Structure 1
């Protein structure tokens, strides 16, 4: 339960605190595309966990991630990496996990549904 609270705090920081440290390019993308309002908090938590820790992302949250869009997804991940709380993370590893999560979700969304 404590880890869920830690992740909740990190997600809130992910969504709100990085603005001061964000590059103008990422900030502009995030603001112009309303990136911070396109995913529900449970799915933000799942995506965050799958990228910044170890976890998986559900089909429902993959839908939300793909609807968020690649530009928003990339800008939010990059902005999070700029936050001092994440200075000890390897950016290349996080970017690779971010791309893997995106590609997995995109493949899932684009795959044909099994017939009933």
Structure 2
């Protein structure tokens, strides 16, 4: 069980280091992929709340979020973490919540809907 905990910590550290190294590229990725135009403001707010605060993301916004794409998702999260307004946040915690939100939305989209 301890090895699972150590493995989890190493994964989070690796992801955090990757986020820091990618800082110069985030704006370019966001611009090249038109990330800010792929999702509506209400869904941006839901996703932000589920990742940076306590909240959940609706099924509708999960669909929009997945259409946004993993590249845009990661770049937007990393750019937010670069913002001085969020300097007191723990990047490892935010990245973990970001991955959890992404995976939950993917699972929702991939799961078959109940028949009528």
> Which category of TM-score, normalised to the shorter sequence, fits these structures?
0.7 to 0.9
Local SS of the residue matching 1:109: helix
Which position in structure 2 is the counterpart of 1:7? none
Q: How many residues align?
A: 95
Which position in structure 1 is the counterpart of 2:19? none
Instruction: Give me the whole-angstrom Cα distance separating, in 2, the residues matched to 1:69 and 1:77.
Output: 12
Q: TM-score, normalised by structure 1?
A: 0.80
C-alpha deviations, 1:9-50, integer Å up to 9, x for none?
Answer: xxxxxxxxxxxxx93311111000000111100000000000
Runs of 4+ displaced beyond 2 Å: none
2:100 is aligned with 1:100: yes
Which position in structure 1 is the counterpart of 2:29? 29
List aligned pairs for 1:34-113, cutoff 5 A. Answer: 34-113=34-113
Tell me, which stretches of 5 or more residues in structure 2 are unaligned? 1-21
Instruction: Give me the whole-angstrom Cα distance separating, in 1, the residues matched to 2:103 and 2:23.
Output: 25
Tell me, which stretches of 5 or more residues in structure 1 are unaligned? 1-21
Instruction: Give me the whole-angstrom Cα distance separating, in 1, the residues matched to 2:36 and 2:46.
Output: 15
Give the drift of 1:98. Answer: 0.3
Q: TM-score, normalised by structure 2?
A: 0.80
